Structure 1
Amino acid sequence: MASRAATRVTTSYAAVRDRVAAACRRAGRAADTVRLVAVSKGMTAKALRAAANEGARDFGENYVQEWQAKRDAIADVAAVSWHFIGRIQRNKAAAIAEFGLVHSVADVRAARVLDVAAERRGAPLCVLLQVNLAAESTKGGVAAADLPSLLDSARRLSWVRVLGLMTIPPPFAPEAVRPLFAALRTLRDRQEEPQGLPELSMGMSADFEVAIEEGATLVRVGTAIFGPRKEVT
């Protein structure tokens, strides 16, 4: 019998999935154009398994050691895709290169570090470039004006594959951050060969529906699925 905590997770995941589908309908989009990434940092492997039992297959993690333990604990769950959403450290690059998608490439140094790690692993690594649209000093990310240079540099690397952009807006009300989501989409569309940047990772528990309405293809939802988390450092 499932525990009460596991039941809460499965119920919450299903509710968020329904909200994603409803937001897609409002935006005139098919539900399968948005991937729901369950941000599981600070959560137990049991919580991840509960979400997986409801169909979750995309999980977002910030910390390599925590991720490795969870990956091993749910290794029997088929077709799981792991998303790295934390800060990129050189000494963790080899492990980060094992993720299916890295959302947080904020500068050329990080791109090059991951390129080397991917080459050593012998497999291309898919990444997103993080853009700091609100110019917040506490958050990483390239300034919008500097994105073309970073994109050009990253595209010249041999083992990194840039698939799109990511942003983390300030913790404002959903309608207050809508312009930032729209700005990320516009910024993507203005780059050279924008068709090569299909992914927009934007929107979290408080604002993912607005992000979908503005073009998000990946939403990163933690609290609305798992409840409050205890940070693991």
Structure 2
Amino acid sequence: MNDLASRLQAIRDRISAAAQRCGRDPASVQLLAVSKTFPAEAIREALDAGQLLFGENKVQEILAKAPQLPSNLQWHLIGHLQSNKVRKVLPHVQAIHSVDSLDLARDIDRIAGELGLKAKVYLEVNLGDESSKHGFNAEGLRAQLEALHALTRLEIQGLMCIPPFDDDPEKSRPYFVQLRTLRDELEKTGGRPLPLLSMGMSHDFEIAIEEGATMVRVGSAIFGERTYKPAA
């Protein structure tokens, strides 16, 4: 087993243990391997080790990597999506985790209709009210939920959040609790299920699982530390 496959198996084992600790079926938690900045070769290694779900932050990375890789893997867009890139990416992704406004949701709905597609999406919630991050605030999402549910080309899977970063993973727990509580509230008021919670990353995914995550987004713990190119 190569190093990447070993790291991937270690993450799977930790997911299983975290789920069992809180009385959950490990199969209720999916692992999204975040492959942003890593080459297609690294993704192929993970694919050979049985990983099928991959997350990317940028549309252009999906469009560049997808033709180099088998068609059976599934791409999820987890980074901010600009409206002018919806048409390009929609045919290539199985889900968009970063629907952060009603305007973007409407654009996705319209373009999905034009392409004859249904779009699986998560609604991103900025629970930390961080100006550097996108997302609905909780009150705005409550106010716009009915309009979001009216978009017939969207299949709203649930909610997503990225808590403010802290070296102590326990500091993420209150945000995960808030997201789960908000989801439960919106299911009751909106009258529709929102079964999935996309939350938890390399340093705090076990806490997220304890608080109800159904998909965790893990990158560096699988692929290694990222090296970013300096801005030109």
Indicate if the aligned counterparts of 1:103 and 1:130 stay in contact, CA closer than 8 A. Answer: yes
1:140 counterpart letter in structure 2: H
Contact residue 145 and residue 190 of structure 2 kept, 8 A: no
Q: Counterpart of 1:154?
A: 148
- CA contact under 8 A between 2:101 and 2:136: conserved in structure 1? yes
Contact 1:41 1:231 in 2 (8 A): no
Give the CA deviation at 1:175: 0.8
Q: CA deviation at 1:93?
A: 0.4
Which of the numbers 206, 214, 217 marks the counterpart of 2:214? 217
Is the Cα–Cα contact under 8 Å of residues 36 and 56 in structure 2 kept in the other structure?
yes
- Percent sequence identity is 45
In structure 2, the partner of 1:23 is 18
* CA apart distance, 1:193: 4.4
Q: Distance in 2 between matches of 1:222 and 1:194?
A: 34
Structure 1 residue ranges without an equivalent (≥5): none
In the alignment, which residue of structure 2 is the partner of 1:119? Answer: 113
- Secondary structure at 1:133 match in 2: coil
Task: Measure the CA separation in 2 of the matches of 1:120 and 1:18.
Answer: 42
Asked whether the equivalents of residues 126 and 162 of structure 2 are also in contact (C-alpha less than 8 Å), the reply is: yes
TM-score of the aligned structures, taking structure 1 as reference length: 0.92
**Deviation (angstroms), 1:155:** 0.9
Cα deviation for residue 50 of structure 1 reads 0.7
Instruction: Give the whole-Å Cα distance in 1 for the aligned partners of 2:146 and 2:192.
Output: 15
Kindly tell me the number of residue pairs found equivalent between the two proteins.
226
* 201, 218, 229: which one aligns with 2:226: 229
Q: 2:9 aligns with which of 3, 10, 14?
A: 14
- Tell me by how many angstroms 1:149 deviates: 2.2
Structure 2: gaps spanning 5 or more residues: none
Write the mapping of 1:79-118 to structure 2, written as runs, cut at 5 A: 80-98=73-91, 99-118=93-112
- State whether structure 2 residue 127 is matched by structure 1 residue 128: no
Q: TM-score, normalised by structure 2?
A: 0.93
RMSD: 1.6
